[in-house]
Chains A and B, each alone.
Chain A
Amino acid sequence: MKNFYRKVAFGLGPDEKVPSDPLEWAKDQLNEIPEFSWKGKILPEKELRNHYRDYVYGDRKVLRKKFKNDKDGYKREKNKLRHATGQKFWWNLELCIRYSEALKSETPVLAKLWYFWGNHFAISEKDFLAQYTTGAYQREIIRANMNQNFEKMAQEATIGWSMIHHLDNEQNIGPKSQEAKWAREKGKTKGVNENHARELLELHTVSPDCGYTQEDVIQMAYIMSGWRPKWGKKRLETGDVHFNPDAHEPGTKIVLGKKYKRGRKSLSVAITDLVNHPSCRKFIAMKLCRYLITDNPTEEMMEPIIKAWEKSDGFLPEVHKAAIEVAFNYSDKYNKFQNPENWLLQMSKMADVDLIPSPSFMDLYQLGNKPIKDQRALERLMDELGQHPYLAKQPNGWSDISEDWMSPELLIRRLVYAREAYYKKSGKSQTTEFYEEMIEKNYDNPSEILQIINQYKELVHKHVILFNLPETLKS
């Protein structure tokens, strides 16, 4: 049962009491969205997007012209521009905010589910989204909606600037729209870009199991045509998302047998229908079980989550509580191989690793400067571990299937970074007593584990073995 603390959160830290009712402990964390526990600066998405704008404009419109014959000069000035817009700093700050929720907040269960949703509505590696805005998108659109209905999160994520840009909806132009006509007059062709529409169906809502066709994807793309950032000479592609009727495909569209009129409202109506489709709740229930419990969820696992969804109209706190309860009920039967990020956070929490730089230290950063090494450590660490949360390779986010995390190099990273982490611990936690207590608190078979790790005398070796035992790799 004790793996439940690691399954739905990151284990119990040294200062935490063992909850008398673990299930209630977990469920109680899901009703409200508390303030961030990070006490340093937190920038709004809009401000970060302005830095992004300054970077792309400065590079594309200024430097490329100025240094067209000077490769080295271009590289040098581009580096200055990176620092002037904080390119190497912001994502480190975002990771501090993100990991404080796992390690320092009263609501680690909420944090673990936040990471799930950020990955569900993933912004994968594209342009410089990761460096500037992905973290903020995950705060303002994903986390902020975790006490709302799924529909609200889906609506906001779909027309969020990050998502629209990430999935190219700015290039999605109705072939019969005014803009396509203008293009034809100039001898150019403009047409539909299905990317965003396909992912909305496939990854974000109903999934291929609902049986939509390629025609449904195209019709959905027609509905979405015209939603894009407001273009400006200086803002380029970083303007706020709006609906531009000139790019919108006229006429009625049909998706999954339902008709939608032309115009601004049709997208939101279509999303409402998608999130209420039975395939959507089944898909989300399956993904929650896969994330928390096992690679191959059963119908019995999904059922209570689907029921909670139906009863509450997709109200996320209720859906989450149902998922947590299922995880609790199956905690003795199933262990889930943890991805590198969750593994790192478990180790940091249970072994009291000083993972996150302090807010005052991060706030020393001044725009224009290169951030110092320790201000950049988190981002580099995540890259080294093989799971930078803002750099998923595909719009389907990081995999939650065990096999995808099994490779020699990835396991090597866990060995070497377990060792590194040990040296980031405070002196008071570098004692045998500390480890005995922690193991007692977090594992169901403490004596067996102690017997294994005690084959080594030095604590650092005990630490490395503990965090690479199957009991830890899987929770």
Chain B
Amino acid sequence: MKISRRNFLKGSATTLFLAGFNFPVLANTDKKKNLVVIMLRGGMDGLCAVPIIGDKNFEKRRKDLILDETIQLNSDFALHPKLKNFHDLWQNDLGAIIHATNIPYTKRSHFDGQNLMETGGHIPYSIKTGWLGRGMKLAELKGDGLALALPMPLLLRGIPSNDNFYPSKKRLPRTELLQLLKSVYADKSEHDLANMMEIIANRSMMNNGGNSMSRKNSSLAHKAGLELKKINGPRVAVFEVDGFDTHAAQGGVNGSHSDSLIEMDSIFKSLEKGLGSEIENTLVLTLTEFGRTIKQNGGRGTEHGYGSAIFMAGGLLKKSQVYTDWPGLKRKELFEGRDLNSTIDARSVYASAMSTVFDIDFKRIQKEVFWGDKLQDLSDKLFKI
């Protein structure tokens, strides 16, 4: 293995120095910027998605899971060969990766980990709102959230009036009936209900009387892209992808982990299609509860681990890069002797992303959304500011 962990920090000293001057951030009012978060549930294997090149420690520990024909990203990292859409983005400076990162949670329970990835807290269930919801509240983005799910995800809790889209398989009643209900709600001063019925009636017209639409993430993402593109549309969207918990038959290129990665990849593509040129003003991030063990298990799967990776896409990225403070994969470099370590608190990435997209000072987000936890401002390294 060629790289040691220090290499990556070189060259960042100057930028850190400059950042210390704290130039006032000018709110860019003439363009609407969007933030999309894709939750990857089950524990995304960062080393399956973005494998390290030529590391004997890695190859030795999971010999049956090594992928063929990976796409080389740089001298150290490759990309899962099925992530074709992401690779297209990468080639246009619209894709980047953070590696060896995770939320500060090390206990390996999906249940607790997923709670913490959404709340951004330290103690499972102690916080009842999501970091994204709190960030939106700080940015006063009421009514600007869109969940591509039926129950409102915890991640968006903390600000009211979020919209959601997860089409019913059944037909909506005719539009006149919806209008009648809307006027009854208005007469009875049920304003929240009236507002929602307005949204529903508009949808019903758009969908030609409410033909059922697909709930596939690729289809939802296209729809979300179209909505985010609108100047008065939502500014935040949240997706969910399941199935990363591959204890068995994780396999290689055609294994079960690939299936979930392909689903994630389809979101990138459809979002881009829906957004059109507005992909330039959008930032897409992934979020997972933990990575997976380096070592394969008896069922050619992997167990719950720690460090993982974050995929990022969109025109607000500074450039294509694998940004990492690589911890190494020798036994003593692993977390508890078994997992890829996390050297970047994933919340630093999310806080920096919200700072960039919502035009809010990083320190305010750090303080109000993440309780003043020690986080790094990575905005100038990762994003166009």
A binds B: yes
Residues of A at the B interface (CB closer than 8 Å) are 60, 63-65, 67-71, 74, 126, 168, 193-195, 198-199, 202, 384, 386, 393-396, 403-404, 406-413, 415-417, 419-420, 452, 455-456, 461, 464-465, 468-470, 473
Q: Which residue of A lies closest to B183 (CB)?
A: A452
Pick from B191-199, B311-319, B341-349, B362-370 the stretch touching chain A. B191-199
Asked whether A411 and B197 contact (CB < 8 A) given A194-B123, A199-B125, A464-B177, the answer is yes
The answer to the question of B200 belonging to the interface, with a C-beta cut-off of 8 Å to chain A, is: yes
Docked-complex contact B180 and A465, CB < 8 angstroms = yes
Please name all residues of chain B whose beta carbon is closer than 8 Å to the beta carbon of A126 when the two chains form the complex. 111
The answer to the question of B2 belonging to the interface, with a C-beta cut-off of 8 Å to chain A, is: no
Docked-complex contact B125 and A396, CB < 8 angstroms = yes
> Can you give 11 A-B contacts (C-beta < 8 A)?
A64-B298, A64-B301, A168-B109, A393-B151, A394-B115, A407-B162, A407-B196, A409-B150, A415-B172, A415-B200, A469-B181
Docked-complex contact B249 and A195, CB < 8 angstroms = no
Docked-complex contact B160 and A74, CB < 8 angstroms = no
Docked-complex contact B298 and A409, CB < 8 angstroms = no
Nearest 9 CB-CB pairings of A with B: A64-B299, A64-B248, A68-B300, A416-B170, A71-B249, A409-B164, A74-B249, A68-B299, A408-B199
Q: What's the minimum C-beta distance from A143 to chain B, rounded to whole angstroms?
A: 25
Docked-complex contact B193 and A473, CB < 8 angstroms = yes
Among B165, B172, B192, B249, max chain A CB count under 10 A is at: B249
Q: What's the minimum C-beta distance from A457 to chain B, rounded to whole angstroms?
A: 12
The answer to the question of B171 belonging to the interface, with a C-beta cut-off of 8 Å to chain A, is: yes
Cβ < 8 Å to A, chain B residues 163-186: 163-166, 168-173, 177-178, 180-181, 184-185
Contact with A along B249-282 (1 / 0, CB 8 A): 1010011100000000000000000000000000
Please name all residues of chain B whose beta carbon is closer than 8 Å to the beta carbon of A417 when the two chains form the complex. 170
Q: Which residue of B lies closest to A63 (CB)?
A: B248
CB < 8 Å neighbour of A406 from B112, B154, B196, B300: B196
Total B residues in contact with A, Cβ cutoff 8 Å: 53
Give the interface SS of chain A, mostly helix, strand, loop or mixed.
helix
Please name all residues of chain B whose beta carbon is closer than 8 Å to the beta carbon of A198 when the two chains form the complex. 123, 125-126
Docked-complex contact B172 and A412, CB < 8 angstroms = yes
The answer to the question of B63 belonging to the interface, with a C-beta cut-off of 8 Å to chain A, is: no
CB < 8 Å neighbour of A68 from B160, B181, B254, B298: B298
Please name all residues of chain A whose beta carbon is closer than 8 Å to the beta carbon of B169 when the two chains form the complex. 384
Q: What's the minimum C-beta distance from A170 to chain B, rounded to whole angstroms?
A: 11
Contact with A along B115-145 (1 / 0, CB 8 A): 1000000011110100000000000000000
Residues of B at the A interface (CB closer than 8 Å) are 64, 107, 109, 111-112, 115, 123-126, 128, 150-152, 154, 160, 162-166, 168-173, 177-178, 180-181, 184-185, 188, 190, 192-193, 196-197, 199-200, 203, 247-249, 251, 254-256, 298-301
Asked whether A68 and B173 contact (CB < 8 A) given A393-B151, A415-B200, the answer is no
In Å, the complex CA distance between A63 and B299 comes to 8
Asked whether A470 and B184 contact (CB < 8 A) given A69-B300, A71-B249, the answer is yes
Docked-complex contact B171 and A416, CB < 8 angstroms = yes
In Å, the complex CA distance between A420 and B212 comes to 15
Having A64-B249, A473-B193, one finds 16 other A-B pairs with CB under 8 Å, namely: A69-B251, A69-B300, A74-B248, A396-B128, A406-B196, A408-B196, A409-B150, A410-B150, A412-B200, A412-B203, A416-B170, A419-B170, A452-B184, A455-B180, A461-B173, A464-B173
Q: Which residue of B lies closest to A407 (CB)?
A: B164
In Å, the complex CA distance between A415 and B173 comes to 7
Please name all residues of chain A whose beta carbon is closer than 8 Å to the beta carbon of B248 when the two chains form the complex. 63-64, 67-68, 74
In Å, the complex CA distance between A464 and B128 comes to 35
Please name all residues of chain A whose beta carbon is closer than 8 Å to the beta carbon of B170 when the two chains form the complex. 416-417, 419-420
Please name all residues of chain B whose beta carbon is closer than 8 Å to the beta carbon of A412 when the two chains form the complex. 168, 172, 200, 203
In Å, the complex CA distance between A63 and B298 comes to 11
In Å, the complex CA distance between A434 and B107 comes to 58
Docked-complex contact A416 and B172, CB < 8 angstroms = yes
Docked-complex contact B181 and A465, CB < 8 angstroms = yes
In Å, the complex CA distance between A416 and B301 comes to 42
CB < 8 Å neighbour of B168 from A74, A406, A409: A409
CB < 8 Å neighbour of A395 from B125, B160, B200: B125
Please name all residues of chain A whose beta carbon is closer than 8 Å to the beta carbon of B111 when the two chains form the complex. 126, 168
